[in-house]
Amino acid sequence: MSIQPDLSAAIGHTPLLRLRHASALTGCEILGKAEFLNPGGSIKDRTALGLLLDAERRGRIRPGGSIVEGTAGNTGIGLALLGASRGYRTVIFMPETQSREKIDALRIAGAEVRLVPAVPYKDPNHYAHQARAHAEAANAADPGSAWFANQFDNTANRDWHEATTGVEIWQGAGGRVDGFVCAAGTGGTLAGVGRALKARNPRVRIALADPAGSALASYVNTGELIASGNSISEGIGSSRVTANFDSAPIDLAWSIPDDESVPLLHRLLAEEGWCTGGSSGVNLAGAIRLARELGPGHTIVTVLADAGTRYQAKLFNPAFLRGKGIPVPDWLARAFPAP
């Protein structure tokens, strides 16, 4: 074992887990990068670290300054924890529709949380625009006092995943990677990992698993941003092409409905003991689809992005699931019987 000097050094180097059911189902080796094991509980710790290190190198944040970001939660948690460890304040703008567990985690981490209505990106009241405006106002009053992380369009996000996450996956799998698949929110993970793997083997297939209600799969397949349906997944999907997503080398894309993805994460917990969030279910569904596309004998890697405990009131609430038309497994119904 090694001794890590601070929080930053503890981020990353997560294991690859063999996912037994998905592997047996497809005849492929399906591996999940266990990003829920990061200090802040998600892959967004990596994103936060990459953005912050880039800002520090470029002199865009001064000692004791404020980190400002608009986020569905996980990037904010990573930024807040890093801020606490490096002497920064953190101000987070977040849609009020996000899970109570993530909102509470942000506040526990010391962030100032400003909940705002969930509106489309084109609306000036969108959480990302409000975060940018807050940073600009702070800097107008006190130049250099605030840094807007801008995770969606700051390509330091993509670059950090290319330099770290993608390299770890290649090395962890011993260079035996035939396909990689994950969902996109900012697009940083998909673009960065895709670029890293393609640089090492151009034949690696890169796929997007898009939740219903997002327009990104449509964009990849048709060139048009058309969304249909909806999803209970948080933090993934988009109605626009971000600067990070724009550079992703995507070969295939699918729209994944909740009644396909959520049962997979329930089964992953009940049979293999991994408690993961909604995006991991979408990713796992995408990995199974990609495995079937490539055929038996291939190695497919995906991301287990965060822990299911951040979404307990939705993903593990039988009444909520029934209201959304999502199957409730017997073990979950027994654990939380109707009153």
**Could you list the active site residues?**
44
Determine contact, residues 285/262, Cβ cutoff 8 Å: no
204: helix, strand or coil: coil
Q: Phi-psi category of 59—alpha, beta or left, where left has phi over 0 and alpha has psi -120 to 50?
A: left
Q: Give the torsion sign (CA, 18, 33, 39, 130).
A: negative
Dihedral, 291, 292, 293, 298 alpha carbons, nearest 10: 40
Q: Hunting for tokens 């969030």 — which residue is that?
A: 277
Q: Which residues pair with 112 in a beta bridge?
A: 91
The tokens for 60 are: 């865009």
Determine contact, residues 276/268, Cβ cutoff 8 Å: yes
Amino acid present at 111: A
State how far the Cα of 328 lies from the Cα of 283, in Å rounded to an integer.
Answer: 20
The helix, strand and coil proportions of the chain, stated in percent and rounded to the nearest 5, come to 45, 15, 40
What are the residues whose beta carbons fall under 8 Å from the beta carbon of 288, sequence distance 6 or more? Answer: 22, 25, 26, 30, 264
* Cα distances (angstroms) measured from residue 205 to each of 167, 194, 232, 336: 16, 8, 27, 41
Amino acid present at 36: F
- Spatial CA neighbour of 116 closest among 89, 100, 97: 97
